[in-house]
Amino acid sequence: MQQSAVAIHTPFVINALDTTATGKLAIDLRPIHGDQHEQLVVDRLLVNYGFASDNKQLRRWDLSLEHNQVAVDRLYQTSRPGVFAIGDVVTYPGKVKLIANAFGEAPIAVDAALRTIHPDLRQPPHSAAVIGQ
């Protein structure tokens, strides 16, 4: 990509996104470090976030970490009761870091968290049942 005509802007995050009168994208980029915003008007936008995780905030939560990943059990509960985690931040035996796996982890963690909050539920809770309570 760096050898193409594509303009790469890193490390920035999108602060604001809008469309111009001509249908182009108006982007306000905020630098990760510093205050000098960059304004762009482009035809297309390709966003690629990730690849460099930072769990500094999680270290303050006193969670059990293994190789800088949050250790979870089969229900995605961390070492702190009532705190659940999924996705690339977690580790467990056999963990494969794919977004498809995180999609599968989410309903299991949500179900376990809801059972923690509502231990009297007998079947897997559904969002409508919890909202109505």
The tens digit of pLDDT for each residue in 82-126 reads: 899 999 889 999 999 888 898 999 999 999 998 888 888 776 655
Q: Tell me the CA end-to-end span of the chain in Å, nearest whole number.
A: 51
Pick the CATH number of 56-131 from 3.50.50.60, 3.40.50.150, 2.40.110.10, 3.40.50.2300: 3.50.50.60
pLDDT tier for residue 128 given thresholds of 50, 70 and 90: very low
Could you state, in order of their start, the residue ranges of all structural domains in the chain?
Answer: 1-51, 56-131
Q: What was the pLDDT predicted at 51?
A: 57
- CA-to-CA distance for 72 and 79, rounded, in angstroms? 7
Rounded to 5, what percent of the chain is helix, strand, coil?
25, 20, 55
Q: Which DSSP helix (H) or strand (E) runs through 26?
A: strand 25-31
pTM for this prediction: 0.56
Round to whole Å and give the CA distance between 84 and 33: 30
pLDDT digits 0-9 by tens, 58-89 = 778 889 999 888 999 999 999 999 899 999 88
Q: Give the Cα separation of 68 and 58 in Å (integer).
A: 10
Answer whether the bond into residue 11 is a cis peptide, omega within 30°: yes
